[in-house]
A and B are shown apart, each in its own frame.
Chain A
Amino acid sequence: MKTKKMSSNTLLLIITICLFFVMYGAGCVMYSAKGFTHLQTFLNILINNAGLLCVACGMTCVMLTGGIDISVGSLIALDCMFLAVGMERWGMSGPLLCVLVLVIGIVFGLVQGFCVGYLQIQPFIVTMAGMFFGRGMTAIISTDQVPISNEWFVGLANKKIQIPFGAYTNNKGVLQVPYIRISVVVALLVLIIIFLMLRYTKFGRSLYAVGGNEQSAIMMGLNVPMTKLKAYVLSSFLCSIGGICFCLNTMSGNVQQATGLEMDAIASAVIGGTLLTGGVGNVIGSFFGVLINGTISTLVKTNGKLLSSWSNIAVAALLCFFIVLQSVFAKIKERK
């Protein structure tokens, strides 16, 4: 029997997956009276975090090249505000606005990617400027809370896709069929496409090559600036898809929307085993990172007594833990 030696990266991923099951299991034991054990609770985590999942996929691609994108939160706020104001005040049609939002994402990514790839400015500075730019643009569009009442969009948001198993009768005697929303389907599709892309396409492999060692990527003849540019465009594009999913949940546009989402996305990717230095990572890991993120906030919400800032702190602590773990592994590798 052949035994493959486990690398530290697979170990990180395994720790993450175990952590998720332990956390979810603990939730089931502690809050079984509040319905934590039902399938719908798990599906709700997916529904609530569909947008985050899209963003985390894009973030993983950028982090594979050794960069980072912290503009995602404010880009989502910009998208939501654009959708809301577009439908309610400018009277534009829903599908057209969705396409426009995607175009905004691509343009946003092009500018950021150009600055990072071709001008060689630190990604953090560029995307931080992008973060403030996005938030400010949102305020320029409108500073009010704009709820969406567009028929097409409301229909889209309320559409339930029922799942044929896991039904149960609640304490009022009504049969509850578990369901997911459109946004979950979109997010899972994005996840699968990005997973296949990273594994089997030339672009996917070159992302790993650029992040692993930029110098050797140049020597191999890869167009490094172009690869980076594409990574940022991809991230902003996926972020815009995430923005639409996010808007389907919140159904409004608000300047303060999705603050700190960049932190959640980065935390998800890091928890899922993506190295901050680039070159190592996987969207499957990020998927579990998002699930852990969602479980934490669901646990805090189910408890009911804890302040909502606890979930922020818990995610930050987890991120800190995994960063330290990564750097310890890196040090051990260096010593070898």
Chain B
Amino acid sequence: MSKLKKITGMNLFLPVFCMILVMLVNVIFDIANGNFAFNFFTISLRNGMLYGRLIDILNRGSEIAILAIGMTLVVSASAGTDISVGSVMSLAASFCCMLLAGYGVASTSELAMPLIIGVLGGILMGCVCGAFNGFLVAYLNVQPMVATLILFSAARAIGLLLCNNLIVYVRNDSFGFFGGFLGPIPTPIVIAALCILVMSLLLRYTALGLYVQSVGINKKASRIAGINSAKIIFLCYIVCGLCAGIAGIVASSRITSADSNNIGLNFELDAILAVALGGNSLGGGKFRLAGSIIGAYTIQAITTTLYALGVSTEQAPVYKAIVVILIVTIQAPPFKAFVKRLSAKRELTKGGAAA
């Protein structure tokens, strides 16, 4: 009993447990279909590129992982979530493609501008959106989710405006690189790994992580202790916007176009789910980046499995919404108190029987 408790009490228990569960479902599904049992884990090399379901999950999960980095910081510092990330992704993609193709051009194979300007422009757009959210939350004390609700609906509309209501195609190999392959490895995996590396180095070698957590636990006390709380929250939102910008570029590069209505659709749910699944409290305070990252890939594994089971893209949110509610219910204080009371009662009856 105590050993079980020790395992379930471990830091990364929840995300790792879910990951193993999803893998088991996949193995069972493969066996039921008469496939090779460990089809899920096989990785092969075709045409000099890596193939396999694991690689696919790592590849498709890159955007969620990148978003989860920013979302973790935002949740930790401000006890609220940024629901605009999906829309900001699409805005960054639209802006990037507009710069590369020129305003009002629907399809092009020639770049109107050097690639780097378009990409940096898109990422900068993400930062600006993040700064807007951060300003509202940190300096005007607006509730985080209401503040981000503005961009949640406006960013997509602005993206459509930038693209003149068109889907802008940039059919150029250099632009497709970010969603393509770097040697045998898909580029998104490399980009996600780089982002994770930079962030974890930042958290390890600077006091940023400590500051963010202390602001999240008690904003006033941190201010009295000499931390500029508002500035930290502002910074977190900019980082979140930056991550959304990078994710937007990757997503748009995958399809070499800017589809304002569909890029980043429902990604806010995935990102928040990743943070919650990673064992981080949505009430702010302490956070674990590793948990969020594992959570992000778990979400993608769930999504891929759902698709494999024949659930359509539009229906998938139902299952994810149920998972979200279950996770936050488990985290809720009244539920914890209820479980505690239940187990105490059981102990009591056990003790009574022994006596």
Closest CB in chain A relative to B104 CB, distance in Å: 12
Assuming A115-B325, A128-B269, A140-B315, is B147 touching A323 (CB within 8 A)? yes
Whether B149 and A135, one on each chain, are in contact in the complex, defined by CB atoms closer than 8 angstroms, is no
Instruction: Tell me if A327 and B158 are in contact (CB < 8 A).
Output: no
Inter-chain CA distance A310–B334, complex, in Å, is 44
A25 interface hit (Cβ, 8 Å): no
B158 in complex: contacting residue of A122, A131, A313, A319, CB < 8 Å: A313
Is A168 part of the contact surface with B, judged by Cβ < 8 Å? no
Among B153, B316, B324, B335, chain A packs the most CB atoms within 10 A around the CB of B153
Q: Which residues of A contact B266 (CB under 8 A)?
A: 132
Query: In the complex, which range does the number of interface residues on chain B fall in?
Result: 35 or more
Which of A140, A263, A309 is within 8 Å of B165, CB to CB?
A309
Contact residues in B for A128 (Cβ distance below 8 Å): 83, 268-269, 272, 324
User: Knowing A132-B320, A132-B321, A139-B315 touch, does A309 contact B329 (C-beta < 8 A)?
Assistant: no
Interface size band for A: 35 or more
A125 touches B81 (CB 8 A): yes
Query: Within residues 258 to 313 of chain A, which ones have a CB less than 8 A from any CB in chain B?
Result: 260, 263, 266, 276-277, 307, 309-310, 312-313
Q: CB of B172 within 8 A of chain A? A: no
Nearest A residue (CB) for B79 = A122
CB distance from A78 to the nearest CB of B (A): 11
Cα of A312 to Cα of B160 in the assembled complex, Å: 11
Q: Do residues B332 and A121 form an inter-chain contact, with CB atoms below 8 A?
A: yes
Segment from B12-20, B138-146, B206-214 that makes contact with A: B138-146
Mask, B302-315, CB within 8 Å of A = 1, is 00000000001011
Question: In the complex, what residues of A have CB within 8 A of residue B154's CB?
Answer: 312-313, 316-317
- Contact between A129 and B321 (Cβ–Cβ < 8 Å)? yes
User: How far in angstroms is the closest Cβ of chain B from A112?
Assistant: 10
- Residue B161, interface by CB 8 Å: yes
Contact B152 A263 (CB under 8 A): yes
Among candidates B153, B269, B282, B312, residue contacting A263 with C-beta atoms closer than 8 Å? B153
Q: A125-B324, A307-B161, A313-B158 are in contact. Are A132 and B149 (CB under 8 A)?
A: no
Contact status of A136 and B315, CB under 8 A, knowing A119-B335, A128-B269, A313-B154 = yes
Chain A residue with Cβ nearest B165: A307
- Cβ B282 vs Cβ A125 within 8 A: yes
Contact yes or no, B314 A255, CB < 8 A = yes
B314–A136 touching, CB < 8 Å: yes
> Of A124, A130, A316, A323, which one neighbours B80 at CB under 8 angstroms?
A124
Residues of A within 8 A of B115 (CB): none
Nearest residue, chain B, Cβ from A326:
B142
Query: Which chain A residues lie closer than 8 Å to B272 at the CB level?
Result: 125, 128
Report Cα–Cα, A319/B335, bound state, in Å: 36
Contact check: which of A126, A136, A263, A277 meets B318 at CB < 8 Å? A136
Task: Say yes or no for A68: interface residue by CB 8 A criterion.
Answer: yes
B182 at the interface (CB under 8 A from A): no
With the chains together, A276 CA to B332 CA distance in Å?
Answer: 23
User: Which residues on the B side are within 8 Å of A313 (C-beta)?
Assistant: 154, 157-158, 161
Q: Is the CB of B153 within 8 A of A316?
A: yes
How many A-B residue pairs lie within 8 Å, measured between CB atoms? 128
The answer to whether B157 touches A312, judged by C-beta atoms less than 8 angstroms apart, is yes
Is B146 in contact with A309, judged by CB distance below 8 angstroms?
A: no
Q: Is the CB of B334 within 8 A of A119?
A: yes
- Name the B residues within 8 Å of A331 (CB-CB): 141
* Other-chain contact of A70, B149, B164, B332 (Cβ < 8 Å): B149
Quick check: B334 and A126 within 8 Å, CB to CB? no
A124 touches B81 (CB 8 A): yes
The contact string, 1 if C-beta is below 8 Å from chain A, for chain B 130-173, is: 00000010001111011101111110111011001100000000
Shortest beta-carbon distance from B75 to chain A in Å: 11
Across the two chains, which residue of chain A brings its CB closest to B313? Answer: A139
Cα distance A310–B314 in the bound complex, in angstroms: 27
**Which B residues are in CB contact (< 8 Å) with A15?**
none
B318, A133: Cβ atoms under 8 Å?
yes
With A125-B324, A323-B142 in contact, is A316–B316 under 8 Å at CB? no
Q: Min CB distance, B100 to chain A, in Å?
A: 21
Residue of A nearest to B333 (CB): A120
CB contact list, B311-355 vs A, under 8 A: 312, 314-322, 324-325, 328-329, 332-335
Which residues of B are found within 8 Å of A330, using beta-carbon distances? 141
For window 257-284 of B, CB contacts with A under 8 Å fall at: 266, 268-269, 272, 282-283
Pairwise interchain contact A276-B325, C-beta atoms closer than 8 A: no
Report the Cα distance A325→B323, complex, angstroms.
Answer: 37
Q: Which residues of A contact B142 (CB under 8 A)?
A: 276, 323, 327
Beta-carbon nearest neighbor of A111 in chain B: B325
With known contacts A143-B312, A263-B152, A316-B154, A309–B161 Cβ distance under 8 A: yes
| A151-B220 Cα distance, complex, nearest whole Å | 62
Residues of chain A lying within 8 A (CB to CB) of residue B147: 323
24 contacts between A and B (CB under 8 A): A68-B146, A115-B329, A118-B334, A122-B282, A124-B145, A126-B328, A128-B272, A129-B269, A133-B318, A135-B317, A136-B318, A139-B315, A276-B143, A309-B157, A309-B158, A312-B157, A315-B153, A316-B153, A316-B154, A316-B157, A320-B150, A323-B136, A323-B146, A324-B140
10 closest A-B pairs by beta carbon, nearest first, are A136-B318, A139-B314, A316-B154, A309-B157, A132-B317, A312-B157, A133-B321, A136-B317, A263-B153, A129-B321
- 16 further A-B pairs in the complex, CB-CB below 8 A; given A115-B329, A136-B318, A307-B165: A68-B145, A115-B328, A119-B332, A120-B333, A122-B283, A124-B80, A129-B269, A129-B324, A129-B325, A132-B318, A143-B314, A276-B146, A309-B156, A309-B161, A310-B161, A330-B141
Residue ranges of B at the interface with A (Cβ–Cβ < 8 Å)? 80-81, 83, 136, 140-143, 145-147, 149-154, 156-158, 160-161, 164-165, 266, 268-269, 272, 282-283, 312, 314-322, 324-325, 328-329, 332-335
Which residues of A are in contact with B by a Cβ distance under 8 Å? Answer: 68, 70, 115, 118-122, 124-126, 128-133, 135-137, 139-140, 143, 255, 260, 263, 266, 276-277, 307, 309-310, 312-313, 315-317, 319-320, 323-324, 327-328, 330-331
